[in-house]
Chains A and B, each alone.
Chain A
């Protein structure tokens, strides 16, 4: 497809479990961003990749959150020991380079019971 895709679209898990959220950026986009949108709020920045490396992970809330982008394309956001407060929509965006428009995916809605 032409746009950013994210899988799964919905994920329900139990407190304490591990989850992985996947983002497929637009082909050729070198910059990739993860954001988290809690109910009734604007998205909040989590982490930014330029190529394979995490250029800025200052938005990750704690060490239970980790993200990778091993080949500079697909990225996976990993959350360990999930907590109810992690429930949110996780958004991924990509851009050709970091100073260009970011295109957003539809998000993954994570619910932690």
Chain B
């Protein structure tokens, strides 16, 4: 069984400030980990993913995330927020070689203040 917890349903940052969105997971097998972004009235878009190898993963739009097995975390960061980053962000986990169905967290709405 797998689960994902995203701490903070809403996060507000100023433009240019650091973005930190938290994600903790539980999984009975070594997981694949994902961050998706959802803009209003649009489909989910993959930001980045961790499967194996390097634990620091870089994605699109300047985002990155680090897989920390000891902390069962996969927090998403971006050094400097842009207004265009305002969206809903979802962390997800899947079990490879078992269909790869995604288990999502509840989402974090990121608001960027000018």
Contact = CB atoms under 8 A, between A and B. Distances in A.
Interface stretch (A11-19, A61-69, A77-85, A98-106): A98-106
Nearest to A106: B43
Given A101-B49, A104-B43, A105-B43, A45 B100 contact: no
A85 to B, nearest CB: 18
A101 B46 contact: yes
Contact of A48 (B43, B46, B99, B104): B99
B28 interface: no
Is the interface on chain B under 10, 10 to 19, 20 to 34, or 35 or more residues?
20 to 34
A46 to B, nearest CB: 9
Contacts of A99: 96-97, 100
Contacts, number: 59
Interface in B9-23: 9
Chain B interface, DSSP helix/strand/loop, else mixed: loop
Contacts of B70: none
A31 B96 CA distance: 14
Interface residues of A, number: 28
A41 B96 contact: no
A33 B101 contact: yes
A25 B26 CA distance: 30
Interface in A11-44: 31, 33, 35, 40-44
Interface string B4-46: 1010010000000000000000000000000010000111111
